[in-house]
């Protein structure tokens, strides 16, 4: 595939994603907190720090992987990096493949580190990338962690996508053993099963981002790019973010579980944390904010988002993210059925 086509594809993804709307029914609405009337904490007592095995996040929200690899998305990366710096959020870049193939594209990613020298930044590659390129991707950003995305449904619906997956697990194992920052194996909106998480744990992965269904939908994005647009029957493929977090519960003691996919409100984010996520990522909301409203309004949006997380934690009597995990939750029959059929132990 030519560099030009690759650049065009990234722009297509951004453009189609920005026009997407979220699933009307969200699994976040299928779980509720039990309300108790008299909190014994004040808003000022709430503390949002999240300790992961290798670093600490002051705020448990991060800007998830999207952009870089074209002129337009370099500008987006730069603006998102300003948001990350000013708001104190961790930030992932989009797949660095473009830069690893063509050094002219490197600045569309490295601009994130230049803009935010002290910030927590995750680099990003695909599961088929050779180990030396994975190391290069970390160096390019002096990244604190490397996201490796696993996106088989996207590749399979993508007209020009990858058709070879049997090499992924061995390659992931090589990357984990050679890269000297934490490796976050990350879905792209199809969620994860306990079986996948177990396989990943076995090869030494300590971080997963379950990135579930409910928000940006890469079956729909790639289907839009097919001439016959004939694969939208796969729109509902995969586990939602809530189902994926439920799948992850038995690994939460030993692994760092990150949640993303369709997180749109502070309440969605708090639900992820209550289900055991250490941090919560959002992609399209940040993209739409920054492109449609600019830096000042996006910073106000983040400010409000974080303040409202504290509001909800106060109602839940949770001073810390750890306290949130003790919250009482009630699941709808639909989620209860998933828990039972999948024999999940909560
Ligand atoms: C425009 C766009 C480009 C994306 N590119 C990447 C990518 O390069 N690598 C990756 O791991 N995920 C990529 N993603 C997936 C997101 O990181 C995330 O997993 C997914 O969008 C679900 O989150 P959301 O519902 O908050 O958007 C992209 C998402 C969007 C919207």
Determine which helix (DSSP H) or strand (DSSP E) holds 299, and give its type and residue range.
helix 284-315
> For ligand 1, is residue 261 a contact (CB within 6 Å)?
yes
> For ligand 1, is residue 147 a contact (CB within 6 Å)?
yes
> For ligand 1, is residue 149 a contact (CB within 6 Å)?
yes
pLDDT tens per residue, the chain (346 residues)? 788 898 999 999 999 999 999 877 799 999 999 999 999 999 999 999 999 999 999 999 999 999 999 999 999 999 999 999 999 999 999 999 999 999 999 999 999 999 999 999 999 999 999 999 999 999 999 999 999 999 999 999 999 999 999 999 999 999 999 999 999 999 999 999 999 999 999 999 999 999 999 999 999 999 999 999 999 999 999 999 999 999 999 999 999 999 999 999 999 999 999 999 999 999 999 999 999 999 999 999 999 999 999 999 999 999 999 999 999 999 999 999 999 999 998 8
Is the separation of the CB atoms in 214 and 261 below 8 Å? yes
Q: How would you classify residue 306: left for phi > 0, otherwise alpha for psi between -120 and 50, otherwise beta?
A: alpha
Residue 333, Cβ density class (10 Å: 0-12 exposed, 13-18 middle, ≥19 buried): exposed
Q: Which of 187, 246, 184, 236 is nearest to 214 (CA)?
A: 236
**Alpha helices by DSSP H, 241-283:** 241-248, 266-274
Is the separation of the CB atoms in 32 and 279 below 8 Å? no
Contacts with 127 (C-beta within 8 Å, 6 or more apart), sequence order? 148, 149, 150, 168, 171, 172, 185
> For ligand 1, is residue 213 a contact (CB within 6 Å)?
no
Q: How many CB atoms sit inside 10 A of residue 228's CB?
A: 7
According to DSSP, residue 161 is labeled: -
Is the separation of the CB atoms in 191 and 261 below 8 Å? yes
Supply 287's token pair: 């993209």
Q: Report CA(188)–ligand 1 centroid distance (Å).
A: 6
- Consult the annotation and say whether 216 binds a ligand: yes
Residue 270, Cβ density class (10 Å: 0-12 exposed, 13-18 middle, ≥19 buried): buried
pLDDT score recorded for residue 212: 98
Report the greatest alpha carbon distance in the chain: 62
Is the separation of the CB atoms in 23 and 112 below 8 Å? no
- Consult the annotation and say whether 154 binds a ligand: yes
Q: How far apart are CA 291 and CA 108, in angstroms?
A: 16
Q: Which of 328, 302, 237 is nearest to 62 (CA)?
A: 302
- Consult the annotation and say whether 283 binds a ligand: yes
pLDDT score recorded for residue 1: 79
Q: ∠ at Cα 121 (176, 84), nearest 5°? A: 155
pLDDT score recorded for residue 25: 78
- Consult the annotation and say whether 263 binds a ligand: yes
Is the separation of the CB atoms in 187 and 197 below 8 Å? no
Q: Report CA(282)–ligand 1 centroid distance (Å).
A: 8
Q: Looking at ligand 1, which residue's alpha carbon is closest to its atom 15?
A: 188
Q: Looking at ligand 1, which residue's alpha carbon is closest to its atom 4?
A: 66
Q: Report CA(64)–ligand 1 centroid distance (Å).
A: 7
Assign domain 3-341 one CATH number from 3.20.20.70, 3.30.450.40, 3.90.245.10, 3.90.170.10: 3.20.20.70
Is the separation of the CB atoms in 93 and 124 below 8 Å? yes
**Residues paired with 50 in a beta bridge:** 57
Q: How far apart are CA 269 and CA 185, in angstroms?
A: 20
pLDDT score recorded for residue 206: 98
Q: How would you classify residue 317: left for phi > 0, otherwise alpha for psi between -120 and 50, otherwise beta?
A: left
Tell me if residue 270 falls in helix, strand or coil.
helix
- Consult the annotation and say whether 115 binds a ligand: no
Q: How far apart are CA 112 and CA 85, in angstroms?
A: 10
**Residues paired with 90 in a beta bridge:** 62
Q: Report CA(198)–ligand 1 centroid distance (Å).
A: 23
Q: How far apart are CA 228 and CA 235, in angstroms?
A: 15
Q: Report CA(227)–ligand 1 centroid distance (Å).
A: 23
Domain range annotation of the chain: 3-341
Q: How far apart are CA 157 and CA 236, in angstroms?
A: 13
């Amino acid at each position: 595939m030519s560099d030009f086509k690759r650049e065009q594809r990234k722009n297509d993804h951004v453009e189609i994603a920005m026009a997407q709307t979220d699933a009307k029914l969200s699994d976040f609405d299928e779980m509720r907190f039990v309300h108790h009337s008299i909190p014994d904490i004040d808003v000022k007592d709430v503390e949002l720090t999240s300790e992961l095995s290798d670093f600490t996040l002051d705020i448990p929200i991060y800007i998830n992987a999207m952009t870089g690899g074209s002129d337009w998305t370099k500008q987006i990366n730069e603006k998102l990096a300003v948001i990350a710096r000013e708001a104190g959020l961790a930030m992932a870049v989009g797949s660095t493949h473009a830069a690893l193939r063509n050094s002219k594209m490197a600045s569309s990613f490295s601009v994130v580190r230049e803009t935010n020298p002290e910030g927590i930044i995750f680099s990003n590659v695909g599961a088929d990338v050779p180990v030396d390129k994975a190391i290069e991707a970390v160096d390019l950003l002096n990244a604190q962690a490397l996201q490796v995305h696993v996106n088989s449904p996207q590749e399979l619906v993508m007209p020009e996508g990858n058709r070879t997956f049997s090499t992924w697990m061995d390659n992931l194992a090589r990357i984990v053993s050679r890269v000297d920052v934490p490796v976050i194996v990350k879905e792209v909106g199809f969620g994860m099963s306990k079986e996948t998480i177990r396989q990943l744990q076995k090869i030494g992965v300590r971080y997963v981002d379950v990135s579930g269904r409910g928000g940006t939908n890469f079956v729909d994005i790639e289907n839009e790019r097919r001439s016959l647009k004939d694969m939208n029957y796969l729109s509902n493929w995969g586990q939602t973010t809530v189902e994926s977090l439920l799948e992850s519960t038995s690994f939460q003691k030993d692994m760092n579980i990150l949640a993303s996919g369709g997180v749109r409100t502070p309440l969605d984010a708090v639900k992820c944390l209550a289900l055991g996520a250490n941090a919560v990522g959002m992609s399209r909301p940040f993209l739409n904010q920054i492109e449609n409203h600019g830096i000042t309004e996006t910073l106000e949006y983040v400010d409000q988002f974080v303040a409202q997380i504290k509001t909800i934690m106060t109602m839940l009597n949770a001073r810390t993210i750890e306290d949130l995990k003790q919250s009482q939750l009630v699941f709808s029959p639909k989620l209860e059925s998933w828990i039972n059929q999948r024999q999940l132990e909560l």
